[in-house]
Amino acid sequence: MTKSFIFLLIKKHSGEIDWILPILHKIDNRIRLVTFFDDKDTYNSLLSNKTLYLLWKSRSYKFIFLKNKKNLFFRLVYRTIVCLKIFKTLENKVLMKIYNIDALCHKLKIETSLIKACFLTFNNYSFFSQIIKNNNSKSLIIRYPESTIPLIPNFQLPKNFRPYSRLHSDVSLFSKKFEPLAIYNKEDLKNKKILYSGYPRYEYWWVKKFFKNKNKKINKKTFSIFVASRSLDEATYQNKKAFKPNSDNYIHTSIMNIAMKLNNAEVIFKTHPNTKNKTYLHKILKLYPKQKWKIIDDHALTLSAQSDISISVFTSASLDCLATKKPTIEFVRFDKTIQQTIYQKKSKKNISIYSHLKLLKSVDNFIDLKKFIIHHYNKDALFKEDKKIKKYFYSDFDSKKIANFIQKNIT
């Protein structure tokens, strides 16, 4: 096989690698992977996720940071041309000025003709992939979801969440057959190649890589409670008003107050990969003895597997916890309906998409959470895999089929 390369563009955090990495592992290793991180913070998000980092490193050939490589002046000019629909003849010339692809490839010792594919998420609006396509028309631009957040039939993201029409893709990957209409209009789908992959991250061959030491608990003498939190950065609160006042404080203090009543209980917190500042969480936890809690940034699959039970705070990491077959509950307090929530007329409450799909039980108060924790504390932590969970995770689509299609079309 002739030496060739695939590019992976990472915009925000390690979650973008998490979704696509199983498929990249199924593609022939002789097709080398080069990863482009938007900045060092994005790379550090991966670096702190130890298990995922090692799996990425085993597949990675080289990586580079893009933030200081883009020409901001030409980027602004290009946006103006596209938005105002003027000087169409200049559009491509200006686009090529945003990144000096020849200089980047020279640094990496790669010929542009050997770039066979470029992977990036649907919400990555980088011009870099289009520049690659303009340099080598045979390169495949492949887009995929940013996370495993589930969607439901007939659900549509707001228009401002949808990719701009100018963002090119030769292939779009989706987990479920109804998902394309959540992102694209019917007209946009006519000329798009759609592939359905299921959830590569939850295929058993991949999941078991995260808990080779499945029976090795974080601390054998303790009852370990794993808590997967949503993003706690003030700057990243897209739906801050959706949660009840002091919701995060109530949730985390409730968990800790229950743990304080259990002699050998320890709480393991993992923040969302988008969270760059853990000050808020530290302010809450410093009120409790240090031996009762830890903040660990490893993968949720690993941490859940090494704990007795898991608590999800409105995050797709709840699916990771379910994949490890550990008892899992969601603890969240909504104030209004937002994206990823459903208003339940019967109970007159807003519930998460995970609860709506009946993948897990959700509670919003101290008493119900305490019942769940005490139940599993007094007995061996047992988990019965629900048929709905099994059906949700396992499908006819798999990473090998997707990898074979991609490989066939780039070699």
Quickly list DSSP for 9-75.
Answer: EE-S-THHHHHHHHHHHHS-TTEEEEEEESSHHHHHHHHTSHHHHHHHHHHEEEEEE-GGGB-HHHH
Q: What burial class does residue 162 get, using C-beta atoms within 10 Å of its C-beta: 0-12 exposed, 13-18 middle, 19+ buried?
A: middle
What pLDDT is recorded for position 131?
81
Q: Which residue has the tokens 């309906």?
A: 337
Q: Of 56-70, 89-103, 252-266, 329-343, give the lowest mean pLDDT range.
A: 89-103
Tell me which long-range contacts 282-287 makes (C-beta under 8 A, separation of at least 24): 284/248, 284/249, 284/252, 284/253, 284/256, 285/252, 285/256, 287/256
Say yes or no: 377 and 316 in one domain. Answer: yes
Q: Which domain holds residue 122?
A: 4-199+395-410
Q: Which residue has the tokens 């759609």?
A: 194
Say yes or no: 50 and 145 in one domain. Answer: yes
Pairwise pLDDT comparison (82 vs 352), residue with the higher score: 352
Highest mean pLDDT among 52-56, 103-107, 214-218, 231-235: 52-56
Element (H, E) at 86: none
Say yes or no: 384 and 400 in one domain. Answer: no
What pLDDT is recorded for position 182?
74
**CATH code for the domain of 79:** 3.40.50
Q: Of 90-99, 258-267, 278-287, 288-297, give the lowest mean pLDDT range.
A: 90-99
What pLDDT is recorded for position 73?
59
What pLDDT is recorded for position 69?
52
Pairwise pLDDT comparison (198 vs 100), residue with the higher score: 198
Say yes or no: 353 and 400 in one domain. Answer: no
pLDDT in tens, 357-383: 888 889 989 999 999 999 999 876 555
In the predicted structure, residue 232 carries a pLDDT above the cut 60: no
Confidence band (pLDDT; 50, 70, 90) for 163? very low
Distance CA 76, CA 57 (A): 34
Say yes or no: 169 and 216 in one domain. Answer: no
Say yes or no: 289 and 304 in one domain. Answer: yes
Q: What is the DSSP code (8-state) at residue 163?
A: P
Say yes or no: 145 and 276 in one domain. Answer: no
Q: What is the mean pLDDT of residues 319-329?
A: 91
Instruction: Give the largest CA-CA distance in the chain.
Output: 71
Looking at the 3D structure of the chain, how many domains does it have? Answer: 2
367, 355 contact by CB (below 8 A): no
97, 103 contact by CB (below 8 A): no
Say yes or no: 33 and 139 in one domain. Answer: yes
In the predicted structure, residue 119 carries a pLDDT above the cut 80: yes
Tokens of 260: 């304080």
Distance CA 227, CA 317 (A): 10
Quickly list DSSP for 240-274.
Answer: GGGBPTTHHHHHHHHHHHHHHTSTTEEEEEE--TT
Distance CA 224, CA 265 (A): 6
Say yes or no: 136 and 258 in one domain. Answer: no
What pLDDT is recorded for position 235?
36
Pairwise pLDDT comparison (74 vs 231), residue with the higher score: 231
Say yes or no: 103 and 171 in one domain. Answer: yes
As a whole number, the mean pLDDT across the chain is 81
Angle at 226 between CA 318 and CA 378, to 5 degrees: 110
Say yes or no: 266 and 371 in one domain. Answer: yes
pLDDT in tens, 177-230: 888 877 777 777 777 889 998 899 999 899 989 976 544 565 667 899 999 987
Q: What is the mean pLDDT of residues 47-52?
A: 93
Say yes or no: 369 and 350 in one domain. Answer: yes
Enumerate the β-bridge partners of residue 328: 310
In the predicted structure, residue 307 carries a pLDDT above the cut 90: yes
What pLDDT is recorded for position 117?
95
In the predicted structure, residue 20 carries a pLDDT above the cut 80: yes
Distance CA 220, CA 328 (A): 20
Confidence band (pLDDT; 50, 70, 90) for 242? low
**CATH code for the domain of 386:** 3.40.50.2000
Distance CA 100, CA 102 (A): 5
